[in-house]
Structure 1
Amino acid sequence: MNRPALEAAPAAGGRTGTVSLRTLSEHLGLSMASISRVLNGSPAAQAIPKATQTRILEAAREFNYRPNQLARSLRSGQSTSVGVLIPEISEGYSAAVLAGIEETLSSAGYAIMMITHHHRAEVLERSERQFAERAVDAVIAVDTALPLFGPIPTVTVSCPDPHPYVTNIVLDNARAAQMALEHLHGLGHRRIAVIKGQSFSSETEVRWRAIEASAASVGLRFLPERVAQMEEDLPTSEPGYRATGRLLHQGGDFSAIVAFNDMSAIGAIHALLDAGRSVPEDVSVVGFDDIALASIHRPTLTTVRQPLHHMGVLAAQAVLETLNAPPESRASARQIMVAPELVVRSSTGRWTGAESESV
């Protein structure tokens, strides 16, 4: 067979991706189906001899072959992309969940289109149009007040409000709050303060209700002056620092703090130390999440661990399961609850002061 000569790929920075699958087929003397199976990593490619697979891969590299993703999408009806809505990219919660999502989808051949909304309503409203324009196959919303995406498959992470046909990955907040309160109660703490999450966080109220219920079960109560809510939209320890300052200004009559997350707990520790109080000798501090910084901060942070990376993996797996299922068999709204774990470190200690109220 007279095979057409292929022009080598241009140098870096030049025009690339001009060789078609048909031309590659004619050059190699192989069917387009066989070449496609090898280049796409299809299980059917295992039936093709290794030497032939090597020839195909070497030719694709030599001539800088790039698949026509648009054509593939039109044929399959899928873009092999997933939209991800997330408040911001920062150390801790968001990064850990996103890593689980990206790793799982990438290994399945999917790309992600990410929108960081910083809790801005106009960005959330615009996201539906942007995802539609890019024809994403599904959406994953992380710690986000969920917009409506119509028929598009949607999975949420830490979104307590149920939506039709939406799978939600959530922490067992009731058990998490119970772990934190029982730990402090067992150490003799009765005057416990709480740092609530910001009003825009999807988990703030559900976690606060869980903490209130767990406190009541062990005979504790929260006086108004022992509750402070974070206000600033910052993914740092600053909101926790300022909330603790308000707690101290409101009287400071507490021996322990339960913080909304680890970053706010770290901010609380800094505020206490700046106010001349030692941790945990004067005040014990408990966080939520178990981010990487929790184990290296001084003092190391006692926290309720969320399996954040695993929650991202579960969200991506739920998307893939939905996309691979026939539309008529897709599940209605469901919730996948993950278990917390108490990690005790050096930011909590036994209370040795005078007895205080227990009701």
Structure 2
Amino acid sequence: MNKEKQDTRSENGPINLRQLSEVLRLSQTTISLVLNDSPAAKSIPAHTRERVFEAARKFQYRPNYFARSLRRSKSMSIGVLAPDLSEGYFTLVMQGVEEYLLRAHYFYFTASHYWQPDLMNDYPRLLVERAVDGFLLLNTPAAVESVLPTVAISAHNDTKGVTNVVLDHRMASELALEHLYQLGHRQIAFMKGPEIIPDTEYRWNGILQAAKKLKIEVKPELCIQLSADSWSPEVGYHPMKTLLERSRDFTAIFCFNDISAIGVIRAIHDAGLSVPEDISVIGFDDIISAAYQKPSLTTVRQPLRKMGSEGAQILLELIADPKKEQPTEIVMQPELIVRESTGQAPVALARPKRA
């Protein structure tokens, strides 16, 4: 009789805590202690704990998420906003975020807004409705209208109460340009990122400062402005192709990121030139595939995984202690990774031409 009752319930889908209690003939408290891995569950016999887990699996028991959140005063989840999660920058940042959240037994909701203003406005509200404990903004400058703890990574978010995790872009630019300078490069092309990306202006200002320090002229005719935010190498291919059609009076190019640098290398090869024999190429980020390109890519490494884990750690600390003194900005340090795509400047163009 009891078995038939159990089988019928299994066929009708998941059951609630009260029904599971009736099936097992155990109190709801006992079942909750076991399933929530409470310290008090250690006093419950092992065979009883095993019965609970077996029945929970068999009858597809799911705890009442919102009721549990009310009891804890926390949902043990955060909201992550990002433009997208394609290969490159976001892959590595999210690895760091996920690793830390998993260790902390935290869940997360990820929403990609693709730079659409309506989504950037609506998603924070939708995540609040799902009872998240805080927000992590990746490369997203949106102002989140919430009293919840918020940490922004590479977003340069000036909203009051937001902690920003950012890179030292001036140091990053100095590392790249000093490397090219030491290789004899003086005629250098530069790539500026899409206007929509928060890092763009900070990195460009870093380039201008580093170039001035080294007395490298930033010539407008040798500058590329990326018009789109894309994680396809095509984003760098076409601008570089256009640049090569109007001028070859340069020996190196400093790209906005590794993805665009991969497209740049292809454009150089398609123009009948070689990397780095004719033109040296430096990327930015040090994405997973950078080391496996042909030639392998010299790049400025952002500690992306560390930035992700650092952002997650700060956010959870603020959630645990809302009165904790909140840092305004955490500055991370870059590292130059020298590979095959940079080399000595060709002699003919190594020095600026005399009038």
Is this a same-fold pair by TM over 0.5?
A: yes
**Contact map agreement 1:304 1:342 (CA 8 A) in 2:** yes
Tell me what 1:314 maps to.
310
**Contact map agreement 1:195 1:244 (CA 8 A) in 2:** no
**Contact map agreement 1:195 1:243 (CA 8 A) in 2:** no
Question: What secondary structure, in the 3-state scheme, does the structure 2 residue paired with 1:75 have?
Answer: helix
**Contact map agreement 2:188 2:254 (CA 8 A) in 1:** yes
2-structure distance, mates of 1:44, 1:216: 65
Q: How does 1:1-359 map to 2 (within 5 A)?
A: 7-8=6-7, 14-20=11-17, 22-25=18-21, 32-43=28-39, 45-46=41-42, 50-325=46-321, 327=322, 329-354=323-348, 355-357=350-352
Question: What secondary structure, in the 3-state scheme, does the structure 2 residue paired with 1:146 have?
Answer: coil
Distance 1:313 1:130, change over 3 A: same
* Identity across the alignment (%): 44
Distance 1:175 1:53, change over 3 A: farther
CA-to-partner distance for each residue in 1:202-253, whole Å, 9 max, x for gaps?
A: 1000011111111222221211111111012322111211221232244231
Please say which of residues 95-104 and 274-283 is displaced more in the overlay.
95-104
CA-to-partner distance for each residue in 1:136-180, whole Å, 9 max, x for gaps?
A: 221111111222322121111101243322121212222211111
2-structure distance, mates of 1:34, 1:339: 50
**Greater helix proportion:** 2
How well do the aligned residues superpose, as a CA RMSD in angstroms? 2.5
Could you list the runs of 4 or more consecutive aligned residues of structure 1 that deviate by over 6 angstroms after TM superposition?
Answer: 3-6
Distance 1:345 1:287, change over 3 A: same
Shift of residue 263 of structure 1?
A: 0.3
**Contact map agreement 2:134 2:150 (CA 8 A) in 1:** yes
Task: Give the AA of the match of 2:347.
Answer: G
Task: Give the AA of the match of 1:321.
Answer: E
**Contact map agreement 1:261 1:288 (CA 8 A) in 2:** yes
Distance 1:60 1:209, change over 3 A: same
2-structure distance, mates of 1:48, 1:61: 19
Residue-pair matches, total: 351
Question: What secondary structure, in the 3-state scheme, does the structure 2 residue paired with 1:7 have?
Answer: helix
**Contact map agreement 1:289 1:305 (CA 8 A) in 2:** yes
**Contact map agreement 2:16 2:63 (CA 8 A) in 1:** no
TM-score of the pair, normalised by structure 1: 0.89
Point out where structure 2 has 5 or more consecutive residues left out of the alignment.
Answer: none
**Contact map agreement 1:190 1:220 (CA 8 A) in 2:** yes
**Contact map agreement 1:9 1:62 (CA 8 A) in 2:** no
